[in-house]
Structure 1
Amino acid sequence: MNRTVRVALSVLVLAVFAVVFIVPFVFIALTAIKTPAESSLLQFSWPTEVALVQNFVEVLQTREYLLVIAFINSTVLTVVSVALMVILSAMTAFVWQRRPGRSGPVIQLIVLSGLIIPPAVVPTIWVLQALGLFRTMPGLILIEVVFGLSFSTLLFRAFIATIPKDLDEAAIVDGAGPLRLFFRIVFPLLRPVAVTVIVVQSVNVFNDFVNPLYFLPSHPTVQLTLYNFQSQYLTQNNLLFMNILLITIPPLIMFLVFNRQMVAGMTSGAIKG
């Protein structure tokens, strides 16, 4: 492949990236700072009057600062869910990779089932009602953990395969038990892939719309606040897009900050399967 072809492909990739990601984000930002009359036209143009502060304040104050409450709910949901997800998936992956005996096929079947079988809303609601967790934050946290556990376990298992078993044997000789071996020796070495799991799953949980809608409608998360500015007869596009912009910024910052660590975590398990 000569240099001209490589340059052409690079330009093509950048153009596709701009069309798919940058252009929609710019459109959202421009609409978010327009007046109600201009935003209703949904045109890709610079506003004649910038209403950034006015729209920002109005979005925050809508329904007694519901967006602030939703940010708190989403933060609690994301932090607790991802923390449990990282610990449980790392422990499962460690047992699965280090002890490929009778439990190996069973763990593999469970993990792959979590990726293949689609989640069903009605049976899940029945289970949560039986446990007394329906319409509660712990119940929604449990749902998020279960739905993200399979993918996280596969990532951790691929990375654990690159860690020499000599470390396990040396720790056992020194008298380390299973929990001490995992948390003091193995878990600190999982930092690259743990960062990947944290970023990916945090964005998934923070941006989740379906699960909070069905399992915790009484405690709105950030995605559910989009209903504040659209109805059957009226849509306030300037406030709606300002709301979208505000709830898009945290995941975007997380991706930009941890981009390199994510790539390292995703590719580290490819050295040894």
Structure 2
Amino acid sequence: MRKPLRLASYTMTLLASLVFFIPLYMVVINSFKTRREAGFFSISLPSDWQFENYLEVFKSANILRAFNNGLIISVGSGIIIILLASLAAYVLGRSRKQWAPVLYYLFLSGLVIPVAFIPTYLVLEYMSLLNSYAGLILVAATYGLPMSIFLYTGFVKTIPRELDEAAVLEGCPPLTFFLQILFPLMKPVTMTLVVFNFVGSWNDIQIPLYFSSSDKWALPLTVYNFYGAHASSWNLIFADIVITILPLLLLYLFAQKYITAGMTAGAVKS
């Protein structure tokens, strides 16, 4: 009885994986086709492999500048998120004050409240942060903080308070305790959030589109170089998409073992 169930489970898993694999396969295959052939969006192999599509993308879309823009925004916002979210979780997860739960749920409200682009634009304009890396990094960090605080706080609450008491008895200052003892224990959640926040910031098109000019755009927005109202070079668009997702794929391969452990460790009831 177990063997048929196992076989059915494997079959369903394979079919589900095809839902994600086939679109990726189609993107990769069409990136090597001619403009006319790629316009049919088929999954057949190219009749003539056009490897020069990638060279054309690098020349026309200024890929290196877009890559640097995405790296600056993603890494900068990720550092701010990890630093602020972990410190906030340390306070929210350990504090016995009545205001701590209120503040915690106030942070979580950021997960459901819609993004207010016009007020954000006006604030950035008032602070002279429009079309600047600092403004883009701060906005991206703001969007990533609620989920990060949620996961960090859940994980902090699973760490025994006896560690805090032992640190107090040894005369260890709170900040030293956090940096040397507590934060290293947060490694699974930290690695999960590094991946999630980097991917979210890297793939985001709204923040650079609304709050900066094209010289600050990251890789996902470079597809507009090949897409227009009257004509679209789908072979170059697909090649651009492959270049965009390649860094994320490498990041997932490097950090995949931490993701499940981090999500499980942080997803406890507060």
What TM-score, normalized to structure 2? 0.94
Shift of 1:102: 2.6
Partner of 2:3: 3
**How many correspondences in the alignment?**
269
| Matched-pair contact (CA < 8 Å) for 2:108–2:150 | no
| Matched-pair contact (CA < 8 Å) for 1:162–1:272 | no
Q: Which runs of 5+ in 1 are unaligned?
A: none
One of 131, 139, 142 as aligned partner of 2:138:
142
Distance 1:116 1:270 in 2: 17
Shift of 1:270: 5.2
Residues 1:233 and 1:197: Cα distance change in structure 2 (over 3 Å): same
One of 207, 211, 215 as aligned partner of 2:211:
215
Partner of 1:43: 42
Distance 1:82 1:223 in 2: 18
Mean Cα displacement is larger for which, 105-114 or 238-247?
A: 105-114
Pair 1:205 & 2:201 matched: yes
Structure 1 segments (4+ residues) deviating >3 Å: 269-273
For 1:1-273, list aligned pairs within 5 A.
2-18=2-18, 20-52=19-51, 54-62=52-60, 66-218=62-214, 219-269=216-266
Q: 3-state SS of the aligned residue for 1:162?
A: coil
Residues 1:40 and 1:189: Cα distance change in structure 2 (over 3 Å): same
One-letter amino acid of the counterpart of residue 196, structure 1:
T
Distance 1:75 1:142 in 2: 14
Shift of 1:5: 2.8
Q: 3-state SS of the aligned residue for 2:213?
A: coil
One-letter amino acid of the counterpart of residue 17, structure 1:
S
One-letter amino acid of the counterpart of residue 142, structure 2:
V
Q: 3-state SS of the aligned residue for 2:96?
A: coil
Distance 1:59 1:253 in 2: 20
Q: 3-state SS of the aligned residue for 2:207?
A: helix
Identity %: 35
Mean Cα displacement is larger for which, 125-134 or 145-154?
A: 125-134
Q: Deviations over 1:123-176 (max 9, x none)?
A: 111111122212211111111111110100111111111211111122222222
Distance 2:99 2:159 in 1: 20
Q: Deviations over 1:84-107 (max 9, x none)?
A: 101110111110010031331232
Distance 2:144 2:44 in 1: 40
| Matched-pair contact (CA < 8 Å) for 2:54–2:239 | yes
| Matched-pair contact (CA < 8 Å) for 2:121–2:130 | yes
Distance 1:230 1:269 in 2: 41
Distance 2:96 2:134 in 1: 33
One-letter amino acid of the counterpart of residue 129, structure 2:
L
Q: 3-state SS of the aligned residue for 2:230?
A: coil
One-letter amino acid of the counterpart of residue 91, structure 1:
L
Distance 2:64 2:70 in 1: 10
TM-align CA RMSD: 1.6
What TM-score, normalized to structure 1? 0.94
One-letter amino acid of the counterpart of residue 31, structure 1:
N
Shift of 1:177: 1.7
Distance 1:122 1:271 in 2: 35
Shift of 1:115: 1.1
